[in-house]
Structure 1
Amino acid sequence: MKERTMWPSRTSVVASVLSAAALSCLHQNVAQAAPQWGLNGTYVATSNGEWAKTNDIYHDEASIRSTWSIATTCSYPGECTGTIDSDFGWSATIYQKSGVWYVKKMVEKWQPCPDGSAGPGLQVFRFYAATEDGSGMDPASTTLLGEDSTTGVSGSCGSSKVLFITMPFKLVKTG
């Protein structure tokens, strides 16, 4: 008597191959389901006072280096929000629009007044993930470049004349 070998049908072979391919794709999609669009972790923030402008005229200011802890969530690329905690003791909201990040915060007693008091200033950090040479945007970069600008509040010193200081800004991920 001849022994019969059981061979799977062509349909079951095709079904098995398709199932394996589908599971492989599902596994890859799950692994890619949580893209890293936002900024999360520890960063060194540097405002370069050597290239500062005061009311659009170059004028040396003190350079400032601090550590920021950033936590963000994104609904899709280019649309993110979160918080920053600085080792200088302040916290602020961070958000991203069209690949550019923004941080805005009030600085109390920032603009010196003639009577010895000081008015507040609005500080705005604006930066983007930069290419290695700084000539363009690279969403995968851990080095971000931009500007740190602070503007006095009009009328805070009894006049509408305000102080405006801007300087180059760099943010580098450290952890």
Structure 2
Amino acid sequence: MSVSRVSACVVAVAAATAVSLSGASPAGATEQWGINGIYATSSNGDWAKVNDRYEDQPPVRSNWTISTQCLSPTECSGTVTSDAGWTAPIYTTNGLWYVKRVVPNWRFCADGTPIEGMQVYKIYPVGFDGHVDLDSVEYTGEDVTTGPSGSCGRNQWPVVRMPFYMRPA
């Protein structure tokens, strides 16, 4: 085969590829990578752990309004507004969604001194079988709140860890 025929084949393949791609929608136009809408959430206090020891805590239920924007399936950010009266950022890292917020007056020491906590929700989409399902609209994970070490005279971070679940409201 001559060089001109090889060049003609390469040009024809390139032209066919360009024509087929020109009709394709841009990334994100048909993909829904983010989490958007109103979700019913629940932190299960029946399975709570306080400093790695099971200890019942009050359950926490609320509705979240979530708005996110994504550049790719692994790069999203946005805002969560809870009907409990707080707003916090939401973002993705390594396939997990994170919501982080400061909880003022989270716990009180024996003398009445309040301490704040850092609450972190780590969530991921889950299917009916309990495994990761990227197409699911239901999410599970954990709700972890940590206080500062040394609070209330103890050289230990107080930590409350609860299972978390979220589904469209």
**Fold equivalence (TM over 0.5):** yes
Q: Give the TM-score, by structure 1 length.
A: 0.80
* Counterpart residue number, 2:11: none
Matched-pair contact (CA < 8 Å) for 1:120–1:156: no
SS at match of 2:160: strand
Matched AA of 1:146: G
* Counterpart residue number, 2:82: 86
Structure 1 CA distance for aligned equivalents of residues 59 and 30 of structure 2: 37
Structure 2 CA distance for aligned equivalents of residues 92 and 24 of structure 1: 39
Shift in alpha-carbon separation, 1:29–1:150, aligned structure 2, 3 A: same
Shift in alpha-carbon separation, 1:64–1:100, aligned structure 2, 3 A: same
Shift in alpha-carbon separation, 1:108–1:172, aligned structure 2, 3 A: same
Count of aligned pairs: 153
Measured after TM superposition, the shift of residue 162 of structure 1 is 2.8
Shift in alpha-carbon separation, 1:101–1:30, aligned structure 2, 3 A: closer
Which has the higher Rg, Structure 1 or Structure 2?
1
The 5-angstrom pairing of residues 47-86 of structure 1 reads 47-86=43-82
Matched AA of 2:114: A
Alignment pair present for 1:38 and 2:23: no
Aligned-pair Cα RMSD in Å:
2.2
Structure 1: segments with no counterpart, 5+ residues:
1-21
* Counterpart residue number, 2:95: 99
The 5-angstrom pairing of residues 123-142 of structure 1 reads 123-134=119-130, 136-142=131-137
Q: Give the TM-score, by structure 2 length.
A: 0.82
Which range is displaced more, 153-162 or 39-48?
153-162
Structure 1 CA distance for aligned equivalents of residues 151 and 49 of structure 2: 21
Matched AA of 1:67: N
Matched AA of 2:168: K
Structure 2: segments with no counterpart, 5+ residues:
1-18
Structure 2 CA distance for aligned equivalents of residues 110 and 59 of structure 1: 17
Please identify runs of 4+ aligned residues in structure 1 that moved more than 4 A: 22-25
Matched AA of 1:166: R
